Amino acid sequence: MDNAKQTYATSILQHKKTAQSNHDPFVIPPSLQQYADEPLYILIALWCRQQNDWVSRMAISEAFGINDRRASFQISYISRHKKRVACEIRVVRTDNSQRFYHEIRVTDVVLSGDTVRATPVLPKKGPVKRSNVGNATPELRNMFHTLMGSRKICGN
């Protein structure tokens, strides 16, 4: 038996603690280390895009070290966040039961550095809009009164 130390080529997994105190830390896969500053749903979307196939919540929970329920929530969140993630969702029914689960396939992810925040454009200051009621010139007002005064009353 050899007493020499053996070294294994294992990559160091980085754990990330979220800002929310009610969320557990998660593992960032080695292929996503350069995106460590992104939120969890973006990291999951990038990982799903790397898989280039349909991904289940079980695969996400295994890759990121989170529970299945949180992985399921992340799939739901990604599918509703259309501005930054382009994806497809499909429903898969298990063979021997009536249960089903969702799988996601991500086609595109917009990173935070790629998005340009839209600054609201202030409306141009135009003239104050006035209603047309009662805004006649003195000449028009006099003409109106002379026309009304020369009117003949019919009937009674």
Please report, for the domain that includes residue 82, its CATH number: 1.10.10.10
Distances (CA, A) of 68 to 18, 43, 57, 75, 142: 18, 16, 6, 11, 82
Overall domain count for the chain? 1
CB 103 within 8 A of CB 56: yes
7 inside domain: no
**For position 120, what pLDDT does the model report?**
57
3 inside domain: no
Would the pTM of this model clear 0.95, i.e. be above it? no
Angle at 99 between CA 57 and CA 101, to 5 degrees: 25
155 inside domain: no
Residues lower than pLDDT 50 in the chain = 1-2, 4-13, 19-20, 118
80 inside domain: yes
50 inside domain: yes
d(CA 101, CA 53): 16
d(CA 72, CA 34): 25
Expressed as residue numbers, the domain containing 88 is: 14-109
**Both tokens assigned to 99:** 């249960």
**For position 139, what pLDDT does the model report?**
87
**For position 73, what pLDDT does the model report?**
92
d(CA 127, CA 108): 46
**For position 1, what pLDDT does the model report?**
46
DSSP string for the chain = ---SPP----PPPEEE--SSTTS--EEEPGGGGGGTTS-HHHHHHHHHHHHTS-EEHHHHHHHHT--HHHHHHHHHHHHH-TTTEEEEEEEEE-TTSS-EEEEEEEEEE--TTT--PPPPPPPP--PPP--STT---HHHHHHHHHHHHTPPPP--
